Amino acid sequence: MSDQPEPSGGKPTPPESLEPSEQVRGRLLLDQRTDREIDEAVLRPMFETGPRFWILVGILGAIVAWGIYAWIYQIYWGMGVAGINRPVYWGLYIATFVFWVGISHAGTMISAVLRLLKADWRRPITRGAEAMTSFALMMAGLYPLIHLGRVWKFYWMIPYPNNRFMWPNFQSPLMWDMVAIFTYLIGSTLYLYLALIPDMAMARDHTDGWRYKLYRGMALGWRGTQGEWHKLHRALSIFSVVIIPVFLSVHSIVSWDFAVTIQPRWHSTIFAPYFVIGAVYSGLAALAAILVIVRRTMRLQEFLRSEHFDALGKLVMVAGMGWIYFWFSGFIVEWYGNDPVIRELIHEEISGGLAPFFWLQMTANVLPVLFLAFRRIRTNPAFLLALALLINVGMYTERALIVFGNLERNYLPFNWGTYRPTWVEVSVIAMTFAGFILLYTLFSRIVPYVPVWEIKEGRLRYSLRRIGRLLVPTAAEIE
Amino acid sequence: MEKAVKPSAKTQKNASERRWGMVIDLDRCTGCQACVVACHAENNVPVVGEREAASGRTMHWIRIERYWEGEYPNVKARFMPVLCQQCTQAPCEPVCPVFATYHTAEGLNAQIYNRCIGTRFCGSACPYKVRVFNWFRPEFPEPLGEQLNPDVSERSRGIIEKCSFCIQRLRRAELDASASGNPLADGAVQPACVQSCPSSALIFGDMNDPESHVSRLALSHRAFRLLDFLGTDPAVIYLKGGETNV
C-alpha cells in the first residue's frame, strides 16, 4: 500500500512475526497507543475546519436552497412541472426514493449484523455506517412527500382520530412503507445515539465552550460506571437483534410498492429479496466511498486502514454476486416466459430506447464484482472509491429503469409513453444528494467519527499471544 | 359463455340490487369521438391543450383507442372506446392509502376527490390506464367556464379523477324513481357518452336485471371483456368487431 502511512507510535513489528498476524493486528487496531492518544487522534479533525470545509458547506447549502425553491415551485404550480405523465405516473422521484432507502441499508448491515457476528474489524466504521443510515433515510423520507399531488394533505396517511372518521387504508403498500420507514428511521437513529453516549462523555471531558455544553447534554450524565456499561451493552444487543427484521422488511416493503400491482415486470415474487440484496450492495459501496473520502479529509488513516477496506470490499463483492444472481433469476424467467408485454418491455430495455441505461446498469453493477476479487484493488483507496461510485451509478440506473422503464409499456399499446425528467426533478434530486452530504459533513465535525469506546473495547478484548514463532490474536475472557 | 362475460355479483348485498354495466359494440363504433366530447362537457373535465396532450397528459375519462390492422395498402382502422371498466376486483382500490378510491355497494368503483392526496398509485396499478391526474390547476378558458355542470364538482390540482359512469345522473334517476314510486325503467338513465353515441355503440343498464338490454347483449357470442385474463372482473363488456371496414 503506497499511501498507507506507518502507524505513528506503533510498536515496531517483531522481526519473527509472520505476515498474517500483521494483518490481524492492523484490522483489530492492536497497536500500542494510550487511550489519551486515541481520544486526541479522533477529536483533532473535528476541531480543525479549514476554509475548504466552509466552501464545501456553502456550495452544498446553495444546492439545497435551490432544490427547496424547485420543490416550492412544484407545490405552487402542480406536479405537472415534473416530467411524469400518463402512463409513467412514477418517475425519478420514486427511483431516488428507492435508492436512498437502499443506501440506508448498509448501516444496519455493518453495525447490527456484524456486531451480532462478532466481526471485530467493523469497530472503526460502525458510526460512519450508522450515520449514513439515518441521513439516507431522512432523504428517502422526503420523497413520499415530494411526489404527493397534494403534499399539504400528507397527514391523511397518518392514523389518528380525525373529523373524516377514517383510518388510512392498511391494505395499501404505501401505508406499510410509511410505517416501515418511520420505524427504521427511529430505530436506527436511536441505535446511532445509544452507541454515541460514551463518546459524547469522552468529548465532554476534552472540550470547553459551546461544544462542552452540547456534549454534556448529549452524554446524558454518562460516568462510565459498571452499571452504565452493562445497560448500554444490553441495549445495544437488543437493538442489533430487533433492527435486523426491520432492515429486511423495509426494502421488501419498498419492493412491494411495485410487486403488488399487476403491471408487467413489477408483478414479481423475486422483487423483495432482489431489492434487499441490491440495497445492501449499493449501501455497502456507498459506505466504502464515504470512508475513503472521510479518511482522507479527516486524516483518519490510523483508524480506517487498508485491512478494513479489504474486508468491506469483500462484503461488497459478495453482495454484488448476490445482486447478479437475483437479477438473473428474475430476468431469465421473464425472458423465457415470453409474455407479450414483458417481451416488449425487455426489448425496449435491451435494444430499444432504454438500452443505454440498461447496458450502463449491467456494466456498472457487474464489472466492479470482477475487480473486487483482487485484494490489491480492494485495498487501493482510489480504485475502491471509483468502483464504489460506479456501483452506485449502476444501482441508481437500475432503480430508475425499474420505476419508469417498466411503466412506459403496458397491456394497451395505445397508452404507451415515454418519460423525460425536467429541471424541477433534477433540482429536487440534487437537493437530497447535497443535503445528505451536508448533514454527513456537519455530523463528522460535531460527533467523533470513529467510535472511540468501541475501539478501546476491542483492544481490551484481544491480545497478541506468542505460540512458537507465531503471534496469534486471542480473545480475552471479558464476554 | 354468458357466465364468463358477466361481472360477478359478489359485491352485492342481495340480488335485487343493481350492477351497472355497459356494453360497447365495436362493430358500431365509428370513432367519431362524440362520447369524449360529451364526457368532457358533462363531467367538467378540463381540456389540457396541445402541449400537455403531446406529453401524455390528456384527461379524457373515455378515449377512443385507434389501432391499425394489416400492412399498407390493406389497412383497416379499428376503434375501441376505453373508459374505466368499473372492475369488481379493481387493482386500483387496495393500493390507495387514504380510501380515495373505493367500492360502492352497487359495485361501482368510486373516486372521492376530496380524499385524494395524489400518490398516483392507483394510476400505476390500473392495467387499463384510465385514471387521469390533474397535473395543474384545471382551467376552463372562456366560454367553457359558462357551461360547467353544477352537479359535478370541479377538481383541484394534484388529484386523480376518472370515469364515474356519470354517477350524478344515476343518483338523480334513482332518487326520482324512489320519489315517484315507480321502478327505474331500463334505459331511463344513461351516462353522457351513451346518450351522445350516434351509432348506439354504447349501451348502458343493469347487469343484474336479466331482461335489460345490456344483459341480453352480454349473451352474444361476440362478447368479451378487456384484459379479462387479469381477473379484474370488469363491468364493461365489448362486442367483438367483425369484418367492418372503416
Q: Rounded to an integer, what distance in angstroms lies between the CA atom of residue B201 and that of residue B221?
A: 17
Q: Other CB atoms closer than 10 Å to residue A7's CB: what's the count?
A: 17
The answer to whether A263 and B129 have CB atoms below 8 angstroms apart is no
The answer to whether A391 and A335 have CB atoms below 8 angstroms apart is no
Residue A361: inside a domain: yes
Our count of domains for chain A comes to 1
Per-residue pLDDT tens digits for A243-296: 888 888 999 999 999 999 999 999 999 999 999 999 999 999 999 999 999 888
pLDDT band at A305 (very low <50, low <70, confident <90, very high): confident
CB contact under 8 A, B95 and A261: yes
Residue A53: inside a domain: no
Q: Rounded to an integer, what distance in angstroms lies between the CA atom of residue A109 and that of residue A48?
A: 31
User: What is the arithmetic mean of pLDDT over B17-41?
Assistant: 92
Q: CA angle, corner B236, sides to B230 and B241, nearest 5?
A: 95
Q: Does B94 touch chain A (CB under 8 A)?
A: yes
Chain A CB contacts of B133 under 8 Å are 79, 86, 89, 149
CB contact under 8 A, B119 and A153: no
Query: How many CA atoms lie within 13 Å of B139's alpha carbon, on the beta-carbon side?
Result: 9
Cα A168 to chain center, whole Å? 30
- Helix axis angle, A355-371 to A340-351, nearest 10°: 70
Which positions 44-63 of B are in contact with A (Cβ < 8 Å)?
Answer: 52, 55-58, 63
Q: Does A168 touch chain B (CB under 8 A)?
A: yes
Predicted confidence at residue B6, as pLDDT, reads 66
Torsion angle of C-alpha atoms A268, A269, A273, A275, degrees rounded to 10: 20
* Burial track A290-315 (b if 16+ CB lie within 10 A, e otherwise): bbbbbbeebebbbbbbbbbbbbbbeb
Which positions 416-445 of A are in contact with B (Cβ < 8 Å)?
Answer: 417-418
pLDDT at A420 over 80: yes
Q: Other CB atoms closer than 10 Å to residue B66's CB: what's the count?
A: 12
Q: Rounded to an integer, what distance in angstroms lies between the CA atom of residue A220 and that of residue A215?
A: 9
Chain B CB contacts of A157 under 8 Å are 97-98, 117
Chain A CB contacts of B121 under 8 Å are 172-174, 257
Q: Rounded to an integer, what distance in angstroms lies between the CA atom of residue A96 and that of residue A404?
A: 11
Kindly calculate the radius of gyration of chain B based on its CA atoms and give it in whole angstroms. 18
The answer to whether B188 and B202 have CB atoms below 8 angstroms apart is no
pLDDT at A28 over 90: no
Smallest Cβ–Cβ distance between A262 and the set B58, B160, B230 belongs to B230
User: What is the arithmetic mean of pLDDT over A192-209?
Assistant: 88
**Minimal CA separation from B212 to chain A, in Å:** 30
Q: Residues 6 or more apart from B50 whose CB is under 8 A from it?
A: none
Instruction: Kindly give the residue spans of alpha helices, DSSP state H, lying in A303-380.
Output: 306-337, 340-351, 355-371, 375-378
CB contact under 8 A, B117 and A150: yes
Predicted confidence at residue A388, as pLDDT, reads 94
Residue A467: inside a domain: no
**Minimal CA separation from A148 to chain B, in Å:** 5
Per-residue pLDDT tens digits for A80-109: 999 999 999 999 999 999 999 999 988 877
Q: How many cross-chain Cβ pairs, A to B, lie less than 8 Å apart?
A: 142
Q: Other CB atoms closer than 10 Å to residue A332's CB: what's the count?
A: 10
Identify how many contiguous H helices and E strands chain A contains and give both numbers.
Answer: 20, 2
Chain B CB contacts of A262 under 8 Å are 91, 125, 127, 230
The answer to whether A425 and A91 have CB atoms below 8 angstroms apart is yes
Which set of grid coordinates corresponds to residue A233? 451493552
* Burial track A426-435 (b if 16+ CB lie within 10 A, e otherwise): ebbbebbbbb
For residue B76, give the 3-state DSSP assignment: strand
Q: Does A7 touch chain B (CB under 8 A)?
A: no
Which residues pair with residue B63 across a beta bridge? B82
Taking the alpha carbons at both ends of chain A, their separation in whole angstroms is 34
Per-residue pLDDT tens digits for A135-167: 999 999 999 999 999 999 999 999 888 888 889
Q: Which residue has the higher pLDDT, A466 or A173?
A: A173
Chain B CB contacts of A418 under 8 Å are 56
Q: Rounded to an integer, what distance in angstroms lies between the CA atom of residue A107 and that of residue A111?
A: 6
Q: How far is CA A310 from CA A26, A151, A179, in A?
A: 11, 45, 36
Delineate the domains of chain B, giving CATH numbers in brackets: 20-239 (3.30.70.20)
CB contact under 8 A, A79 and B91: no
Chain A CB contacts of B119 under 8 Å are 144, 147-149, 174
CB contact under 8 A, B125 and A411: no
pLDDT at A468 over 90: no
CB contact under 8 A, A149 and B118: yes
Among B66, B92, B98, B136, pick the best mutation site for testing chain A contact (most A Cβ within 10 A). B98
pLDDT at B2 over 50: no
Range of the structural domain that residue A302 is part of: 66-452
CB contact under 8 A, A172 and B115: no
CATH of the domain at A168: 1.20.1630.10
Residue A195: inside a domain: yes
Q: Rounded to an integer, what distance in angstroms lies between the CA atom of residue A222 and that of residue A208?
A: 17
Per-residue pLDDT tens digits for B198-211: 999 999 999 988 99
Chain A CB contacts of B97 under 8 Å are 157, 168-169, 172, 174-175, 178
Q: Rounded to an integer, what distance in angstroms lies between the CA atom of residue A177 and that of residue B236?
A: 33
Q: What is the ipTM of this complex?
A: 0.89
Predicted confidence at residue A452, as pLDDT, reads 82
The model's pTM is 0.90
Query: How many CA atoms lie within 13 Å of A284's alpha carbon, on the beta-carbon side?
Result: 29
pLDDT at A2 over 60: no
Chain A CB contacts of B156 under 8 Å are 150
pLDDT band at A372 (very low <50, low <70, confident <90, very high): very high
Percent pLDDT > 70 in chain A is 91
Which set of grid coordinates corresponds to residue B58? 390528456
Which residues pair with residue A197 across a beta bridge? none
Q: Does A89 touch chain B (CB under 8 A)?
A: yes
Omega before residue B73 within 30° of 0, cis: yes
Chain B CB contacts of A169 under 8 Å are 94, 96-99
Q: Rounded to an integer, what distance in angstroms lies between the CA atom of residue B129 and that of residue B60?
A: 11
Q: How far is CA A418 from CA A340, A355, A372, A442, B82, in A?
A: 19, 14, 36, 40, 21
CB contact under 8 A, B158 and A149: yes
The answer to whether A408 and A115 have CB atoms below 8 angstroms apart is no
Omega before residue B143 within 30° of 0, cis: yes
Chain B CB contacts of A84 under 8 Å are 120
Cα A166 to chain center, whole Å? 36
Among A154, A258, A261, pick the best mutation site for testing chain B contact (most B Cβ within 10 A). A261
Q: Rounded to an integer, what distance in angstroms lies between the CA atom of residue A295 and that of residue A306?
A: 11
**Minimal CA separation from B171 to chain A, in Å:** 23
Predicted confidence at residue A31, as pLDDT, reads 62
Residue A399: inside a domain: yes
Which positions 245-284 of A are in contact with B (Cβ < 8 Å)?
Answer: 257, 260-263
User: What is the arithmetic mean of pLDDT over A50-67?
Assistant: 93
Q: Does B91 touch chain A (CB under 8 A)?
A: yes
**Minimal CA separation from A259 to chain B, in Å:** 10
- With CA atoms as reference, the chain A residue closest to B123 would be A89
Q: Rounded to an integer, what distance in angstroms lies between the CA atom of residue B62 and that of residue B37?
A: 9
Smallest Cβ–Cβ distance between B117 and the set A86, A148, A263 belongs to A148
The answer to whether B184 and B174 have CB atoms below 8 angstroms apart is yes
Which positions 293-312 of A are in contact with B (Cβ < 8 Å)?
Answer: none
Residue A376: inside a domain: yes
CB contact under 8 A, B133 and A172: no
